[in-house]
Structure 1
Amino acid sequence: MKFVAVTSCPTGIAHTYMAAEALAEAAKAAGHEMEVETQGAAGANPLDPAVIAAADAVVFAADVEVRDRDRFAGKPLVTAGVKDGINRAAELVAQAVAQAEAAPAGASDAAEPVLVTKVDAGAGFGTQLRGWLMTGVSYMIPFVAAGGILIALAFVIGGPEIASQVNGGTFEGTEYPGIDDITKIFGELGIAGLMFKIGATAFDMLVPVLAAFIAFAMADRVGLVPGFVAGLLAVAIGAGFLGGLAGGLLAGGIVMGLQRISVPRALEGITPIVLIPLVSTFVVGFVMIVIIGEPIATVQRELTEWLDGLSGTNSILLGALLGAMMAFDMGGPVNKVAYTFGLASLASGDLNVMAAVMAAGMTPPLACALATVLRPRLFTNAERKAGETAWLLGASFITEGAIPFAAADPARVIPPLMAGSATAGALSMAFGATSRAPHGGIWVVGVIGSPLLYVLAILLGVGVSTVGLLALKAQRGPVEDEPAAMVVEPAGAPVAHRPAAAH
């Protein structure tokens, strides 16, 4: 049979390409053909329409909305999360075979049921809610990365005083009106001042983008306007990140309700571009300002004050908890909750949490890589090859580099990885390390506060994970060598279409 698939994860970095590789290889092993479209951070590699038309079934392995899914209308469809595409690829291929065999003749010409949401309509509410939220996060992350790194570079070039100088401070006796005079900022403060202002402007978009694309995942493009407005109002009233989450869900829900209302034929043409945006934007704005805005803003302020007040043992426990979450599913929903908390803290000015989260996320791949070097006989050929790649992935804060190890032996791998990440996160908080960059791993160490202690926290975390991992693996004993398996390279281009010789 011939199959096509689409893979996509919230960050679009690792899981997207690992799932594509796994599905293509599983189909080949079962005697079928599969071409995969990866909708990752680098964009999509659209499938040829002729390939789609010839396909017997479609597999979606995605945690966010599949773009342009109407291209697959009428095809037998298997949907799953992106991690299932990695860990259960053979099972998904078998399901696609069963769906294709069960499809009636001419099914490919049948009309696909209308979807109320861009997240799969057949999923349970909990799954849909997670998909909506992760879609918002996935579109927000590039703003975080671009803005955060620009701000970090501005501090490296211009020093820590650059923020006050740009935002109403003084420089050589001149008062600056903030964003009102970009030319003066550039003329007096140079490239550092300009980089800070651009990065801060990108950061200002975090909450509006989050809210807008939560609404987009729920109600398609017509949800963008009320979603953006909800996010902007959340910032204006001080509701922040939590307000953006609530506002996006509110905007999407209102639009979904309005879409179900029948209108006269004469108004059908203007309904999606005028009537629904008009009504939904007013209703969302009214609810945000009059009803839910102030309570959410209060919660946001109290959460921020609690976070700012954490010190000593409490902050260490927070770092340990976030660290364990980062290693629990290595890029899955629990990992994303911890990372998103780090982003929210960074946006609110707390730099310690982001540092702890990044340290904890670097630890699992590095520990797996080190373990394969110290005791190679405890690992398969495939794991040793994956360990070679894990060095770079871990150093780059791509926690997914540990997935091949966890998927093959979760009981012996996940607990020690969680212990090491908890250690790294706790020590990072204890050392008072800070990070102005939301990503980058060891490559942004120049913008890390207390860099030597930060690296020490990571090394100690790696040591704890490595010792635990080797101890548990030693209980099983050496493994028999097996033929070297294909190595996933998630940070590179999609590999589903590479020739076999490339492996």
Structure 2
Amino acid sequence: MKLLAITACPTGIAHTYMAAEALEQAAADAGHEMVVETQGSAGTTPFTDAQIAEADAIILAADVAVRDEERFAHLPTIRTGVKKAISGADLLVAQAVEAAEAPKADVPAQRTATPATKDFGPGFGSQLRGWLMTGVSYVIPFVAAGGLLIALGFALGGYQVTDSPAVTEGFDPLALASWAALLFQIGALAFGFLIPVLGGFIAYAMADRPAIVPGFVGGAIAAEIDAGFLGGLIAGLLAGAVVLGLKRFSVPKAMAGIMPVVVYPLLGTLVVGIAMFVVIGPPLAAVNTGLTNWLTGLSGANALLLGALVGLMMAFDMGGPVNKAAYTFALAGLESGSEAGLLIMAAVMAAGMTPPLAMALATVVRKKLFSEVERENGRAAWLLGASFITEGAIPFAAADPLRVIPSLMAGSAVTGVLSMAFGSTLRAPHGGIFVLPLIGNPFGYLIAIVVGTLVSTALVVALKNSRRRPATETAPVAVAV
């Protein structure tokens, strides 16, 4: 068989390429040819027309919208998330072969893509998750660039950098304060795109390019009226739904060419704009204000419980929807500028660093519990963990989820609690250990990470040892006669 596959995860970093490698290896082991198009952060090399024409089936392993999916409308299609491709690539390859060998009449209709909307599976929940993750995937580069520039501005110019005059009014290349203001203002502009980008690409995932403008405008209105990330999310879903509704109307062929370029964006933007300014925007702004006030007043036991909760979420699926929900919540707190928001951002990043570091340490202290491949992954996990790339723990979780995932969740929860307890703060939304100079109470922050890492490592080793012990105890004993 000649098989194709596309892999795509929200961040476009770890999951995307790990899934591609797993699928290629599984296909080769089964005696099939597999070509993978990775739609990741490093760009993509699309399939050639010849590869698509010769293909027998395709696997779409994606947690976000697959770009240009209409290319494969004629192929039997297997849909799944990237984590299933990492842990069950051999099963997906077998399913693709089975679909390719089945008569066309027997291929389920839902396995084929439709040009009008990106389909993520038979259930609405799967579709909704895919739409939201697409929006988040496009937001993350803006978060990294804008947030780190803002943090550098604070590091160079102090907290008063927010009161600096616009650099267009005067810039002194020899003054450190001018450079601090420049970095801060560039970062603030980049950060200002977060909510419009979230709304625009959620809408894009739902209804393709005609929905981008209504989604962006809706997100910009959400930012303008202080409706926050929740407002951008609702605006994106609304824009996608409106454009999908407009696509259902039949139009004369003479007008078909202008519909996606003029009519859908125009009417979609009008409807979404009115709704966001007049109908649903003000209540969303009130909810966002309430959330900000709650974060501002967060202290004591409530703060510790929240630290434990975000820690559990960060380690639960290591880059998946639950992890991204915690991260987005932290971004909302960071955007609020409150002290509590800075505490939450610090706890989330520390808890996200712990899982890969714990697995890296476990492969060092008890090598015999891990395969050679896992030990190689452990060496890479040191850097991934230090860089706040939680996905570095995925290979271990996929191989032994019942022992590894609870252990990692426990350690991350401890890290989140300790980070809150030590009062560590963070103005940068990413960067891991490399933004340590920008962290409030860095010594306590490092202690939180180290303790959480040790907790997870100890639990992983203990649970894996408990699995091995019965085999030793029941081994037959040679008796001399």
Q: TM-score, normalised by structure 2?
A: 0.92
Matched residue type, 1:401? G
Shift of 1:57: 0.9
Question: 182, 187, 206: which one pairs with 1:218?
Answer: 206
Shift of 1:103: 4.3
Shift of 1:235: 1.2
Shift of 1:183: 4.2
- The whole-number CA distance in structure 2 between the counterparts of 1:462 and 1:281 is 48
- The whole-number CA distance in structure 2 between the counterparts of 1:405 and 1:299 is 39
Question: 275, 294, 297: which one pairs with 1:287?
Answer: 275
Regions of 4+ moved over 4 Å: 185-188
**Alpha-carbon distance change, 16 to 478 in structure 1, aligned in 2, over 3 angstroms:** farther
- The whole-number CA distance in structure 2 between the counterparts of 1:279 and 1:357 is 40
- The whole-number CA distance in structure 1 between the counterparts of 2:288 and 2:117 is 29
Matched residue type, 2:334? L
1:425-440 matches, cutoff 5 A: 425-440=416-431
Instruction: Give secondary structure in 2 for the equivalent of 1:40.
Output: coil
The match for 1:204 is 192
**Alpha-carbon distance change, 61 to 279 in structure 1, aligned in 2, over 3 angstroms:** same
**Alpha-carbon distance change, 113 to 421 in structure 1, aligned in 2, over 3 angstroms:** closer
Shift of 1:471: 1.4
Q: Deviations over 1:143-195 (max 9, x none)?
A: 01000011111122222221222xxxxxxxxxx3x5xx624256674221111
**Larger deviation, residues 274-283 vs 20-29:** 274-283
- The whole-number CA distance in structure 2 between the counterparts of 1:185 and 1:242 is 37
Q: Does 1:100 align with 2:100?
A: yes
- The whole-number CA distance in structure 1 between the counterparts of 2:346 and 2:468 is 37
The match for 2:16 is 16
- The whole-number CA distance in structure 2 between the counterparts of 1:58 and 1:410 is 27
Question: 379, 385, 407: which one pairs with 2:376?
Answer: 385
Structure 1 unaligned spans of 5+: 166-175, 481-503
Matched residue type, 2:366? R
1:440-455 matches, cutoff 5 A: 440-455=431-446
**Superposition RMSD in Å:** 1.9
Matched residue type, 2:267? V
**Larger deviation, residues 185-194 vs 408-417:** 185-194
Instruction: Give secondary structure in 1 for the equivalent of 2:208.
Output: helix
Matched residue type, 1:332? G
Matched residue type, 2:326? A
Question: 285, 300, 320: which one pairs with 1:297?
Answer: 285
Q: Does the CA contact (< 8 Å) of 1:148 and 1:436 recur in 2?
A: yes
Instruction: Give secondary structure in 1 for the equivalent of 2:306.
Output: helix
1:76-475 matches, cutoff 5 A: 76-104=76-104, 114-120=114-120, 122-165=121-164, 176=165, 178=166, 182-184=168-170, 189-349=177-337, 350-475=341-466
Q: Deviations over 1:197-236 (max 9, x none)?
A: 0100011110000001110111100001111110111111
Instruction: Give secondary structure in 2 for the equivalent of 1:263.
Output: coil
Identity of aligned residues (%): 62
- The whole-number CA distance in structure 1 between the counterparts of 2:332 and 2:5 is 33
Matched residue type, 1:402? A
- The whole-number CA distance in structure 1 between the counterparts of 2:364 and 2:468 is 16
Q: Does the CA contact (< 8 Å) of 2:154 and 2:180 recur in 1?
A: yes
Q: Deviations over 1:261-318 (max 9, x none)?
A: 1123332222222222121111111111111111111111001110111111111110
- The whole-number CA distance in structure 1 between the counterparts of 2:104 and 2:254 is 38
Shift of 1:380: 2.4
- The whole-number CA distance in structure 1 between the counterparts of 2:114 and 2:26 is 31
**Alpha-carbon distance change, 478 to 442 in structure 1, aligned in 2, over 3 angstroms:** farther
How many correspondences in the alignment?
A: 462
The match for 1:49 is 49
Q: Does the CA contact (< 8 Å) of 2:73 and 2:114 recur in 1?
A: no
The match for 2:475 is none
- The whole-number CA distance in structure 1 between the counterparts of 2:227 and 2:439 is 28
Q: Does the CA contact (< 8 Å) of 2:353 and 2:388 recur in 1?
A: yes
Q: Which has the higher contact order (CA 8 A, sep 6+)?
A: 1
Q: Does the CA contact (< 8 Å) of 2:62 and 2:80 recur in 1?
A: yes
Shift of 1:248: 0.7
Matched residue type, 2:124? F
Q: Does the CA contact (< 8 Å) of 1:435 and 1:448 recur in 2?
A: yes
Instruction: Give secondary structure in 2 for the equivalent of 1:420.
Output: helix
Matched residue type, 1:221? R
Matched residue type, 1:375? R
**Larger deviation, residues 25-34 vs 156-165:** 156-165
Q: Deviations over 1:380-402 (max 9, x none)?
A: 22222221111111111111111
The match for 1:169 is none
Matched residue type, 1:345? G
**Alpha-carbon distance change, 289 to 256 in structure 1, aligned in 2, over 3 angstroms:** same
Instruction: Give secondary structure in 2 for the equivalent of 1:46.
Output: coil
